């Protein structure tokens, strides 16, 4: 294999960048980047397969990251000097390894090799290539974060990474969570001069997941999203917050199980049925026509946490009615009582600015 330095690169830009003509088998042996999104799911998209069905010159250019010193990731996994990762072209690799049609598989690729003595340096290169802003793409990035924390979810509502909004709002309104007390969380993040907004957002997503790691693993045991489940993203947000207070409590286990299987009688007006009917939009406490996403999550924060706490105080109560004065501020009251005293004032201040 020939390692060809890029000639005539101005300034220092080419100092840690080289080009190699790499045979395809050597390329196939390289692992994906640590937080690479779900390439198997992506490779099955018809638009992706159509694009790769004909081998084109741009397909031959790949990006590789090389670690030039020993380092470890945020989860404590150690990586030795010389470790290489595929930064860009992981979907192509998966498609080519299927070998459906040999003419679509190149014999060699042109590898742009980016070198750094830290994983953070390589991460910044990865972010420069993989730059998601849409919600669907953010969900794909979340699957990469799962890999970083060795989380292999089995729940339909979690496995595809579509927890981004639920996790973000839970973090905005839970003390000590990353981006707590901000107006938009990851969507309004202000990066410093050393990183782009997208890089900062990805890092914050990983930090948020780290904060909620145990709660996600707990909720995943219920196989969230099974047939009959009424748990959508706003309700998932509320359950995530409540799990921090009640995780492992048998009454809370029962609540999650019944909401995930729609096992309740709406006519009895129990706390569980109040939650379930709101999630199914049978009542208007959470969802109303034309309501913006932020307002829906705010409604869910107040409504669901109130009724979750009512359930925990007495799961058997029936003919329940709304609290006097409505649900405004009930989410903050839950946080103050069950998670962190003294937080109500700050949450109220944040919520009242939107």
Q: Within a 10 A sphere around the Cβ of 75, how many other Cβ atoms?
A: 14
Helix, strand, coil percentages, rounded to 5, for the chain:
50, 10, 40
Q: How far is CA 251 from CA 35, 199, 255, 269, in A?
A: 36, 40, 6, 17
98: which residues sit within 8 A by CB, 6+ positions away?
none
| The total number of structural domains that make up the chain | 2
**Exposure string (b/e) for 50-69, b if CB count within 10 Å is 16 or more?**
eebeeeeeebbebbbbbbee
pLDDT, position 274: 96
Radius of gyration of the chain (CA): 24
Collapsed DSSP state (helix, strand, coil) of residue 174? coil
The residue from 129, 148, 170 where one domain ends is 129
108 and 144 housed in the same domain: no
pLDDT, position 99: 62
The residue from 129, 163, 196 where one domain ends is 129
Query: Rounded CA gap, 121 and 65, in Å?
Result: 9
Q: Determine which helix (DSSP H) or strand (DSSP E) holds 281, and give its type and residue range.
A: none
- DSSP 8-state assignment for residue 185: G
24 and 141 housed in the same domain: no
pLDDT, position 342: 40
* Alpha helices in 221-329, H assignment, sequence order: 233-246, 250-261, 271-279, 293-313
pLDDT, position 60: 87
14 and 79 housed in the same domain: yes
Q: How many CA atoms lie within 13 A of 220 on its CB side?
A: 17
Query: Rounded CA gap, 38 and 192, in Å?
Result: 28
151 and 40 housed in the same domain: no
Is 192 buried (19+), middle (13-18) or exposed (0-12) by CB count in 10 A? exposed
39 in Cβ contact with 32 (< 8 Å): yes
Q: Within a 10 A sphere around the Cβ of 228, how many other Cβ atoms?
A: 10
125 and 246 housed in the same domain: no
157 and 119 housed in the same domain: no
146 and 179 housed in the same domain: yes
* Alpha helices in 60-155, H assignment, sequence order: 90-98, 119-129, 135-148
Mind listing the pLDDT tens digit of every residue in the chain (354 residues)? 455 545 444 556 567 888 888 999 999 999 988 865 555 665 566 655 666 677 878 788 899 999 999 998 867 789 999 999 998 888 888 888 876 666 678 889 989 898 999 988 888 788 777 654 444 478 878 888 898 888 999 998 999 888 999 999 999 999 999 999 998 999 888 876 666 677 788 888 999 999 999 999 999 999 999 888 999 999 999 999 999 999 989 999 999 999 999 999 999 999 999 999 999 888 888 876 555 588 889 999 999 999 999 999 999 999 999 999 999 999 999 999 998 744 444 444 444 544
Query: Rounded CA gap, 278 and 31, in Å?
Result: 45
* 84, β-bridge pairs: 66
Query: Rounded CA gap, 266 and 275, in Å?
Result: 10
Give the pairing of strands 84-88 and 2-5. unpaired
pLDDT, position 92: 84
201 and 121 housed in the same domain: no
The residue from 129, 152, 172 where one domain ends is 129
* Alpha helices in 32-185, H assignment, sequence order: 39-43, 46-52, 90-98, 119-129, 135-148, 156-159, 164-172
123 and 177 housed in the same domain: no
CA angle centred on 134, ends 129 and 139, rounded to 5°: 85
Nearest to 308 by CA among 344, 349, 258: 258
259 in Cβ contact with 315 (< 8 Å): no
166 and 120 housed in the same domain: no
Query: Rounded CA gap, 65 and 71, in Å?
Result: 14
229 and 300 housed in the same domain: yes
78 in Cβ contact with 72 (< 8 Å): yes
154 and 215 housed in the same domain: yes
Q: Which domain holds residue 342?
A: 135-351
Query: Rounded CA gap, 252 and 239, in Å?
Result: 9
Query: Rounded CA gap, 126 and 328, in Å?
Result: 43
Q: Determine which helix (DSSP H) or strand (DSSP E) holds 191, and give its type and residue range.
A: none
Query: Rounded CA gap, 223 and 41, in Å?
Result: 19
């Amino acid at each position: 294999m020939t390692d060809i330095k890029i000639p005539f690169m101005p300034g220092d830009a080419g100092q840690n960048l080289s080009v190699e003509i790499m045979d395809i088998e050597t390329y196939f042996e390289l692992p994906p980047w640590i937080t690479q999104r779900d390439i198997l799911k992506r490779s099955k998209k018809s638009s992706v397969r159509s694009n790769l069905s004909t081998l084109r010159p741009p397909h031959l250019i790949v990006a590789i990251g090389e670690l030039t010193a020993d380092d470890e990731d945020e989860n404590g996994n150690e990586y030795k000097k010389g470790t290489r990762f595929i930064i860009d072209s992981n979907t192509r690799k998966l498609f080519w390894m299927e070998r459906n049609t040999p003419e679509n598989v190149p014999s060699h690729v042109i590898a742009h090799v980016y070198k750094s003595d830290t994983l953070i340096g390589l991460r910044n290169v990865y972010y420069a290539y993989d730059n998601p802003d849409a919600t669907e793409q953010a969900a794909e990035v979340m699957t990469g974060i799962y890999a970083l924390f060795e989380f292999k979810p089995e729940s339909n509502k979690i496995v595809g990474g579509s927890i981004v909004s639920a996790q973000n709002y839970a973090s905005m309104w839970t003390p000590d969570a990353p981006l707590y007390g901000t107006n938009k969380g990851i969507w309004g993040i202000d990066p410093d001069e050393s990183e782009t907004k997208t890089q900062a957002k990805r890092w914050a997503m990983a930090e948020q997941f780290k904060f909620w790691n145990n709660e996600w693993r707990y909720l995943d045991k219920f196989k969230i999203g099974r047939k009959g489940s009424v748990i959508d993203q706003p309700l998932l947000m509320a359950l995530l917050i409540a799990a921090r207070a009640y995780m492992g409590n048998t009454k809370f286990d029962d609540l999650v199980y019944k909401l995930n299987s729609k096992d309740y009688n709406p006519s009895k007006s129990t706390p569980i049925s109040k939650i379930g009917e709101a999630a199914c939009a049978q009542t208007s406490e959470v969802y109303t026509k034309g309501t913006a996403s932020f307002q829906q999550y705010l409604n869910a924060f107040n409504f669901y946490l109130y009724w979750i706490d009512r359930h925990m105080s007495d799961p058997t109560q029936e003919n329940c009615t709304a609290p006097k004065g409505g649900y405004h501020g009930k989410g903050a009251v839950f946080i103050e009582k069950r998670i962190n005293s003294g937080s109500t004032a700050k949450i109220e201040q944040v919520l009242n600015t939107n």
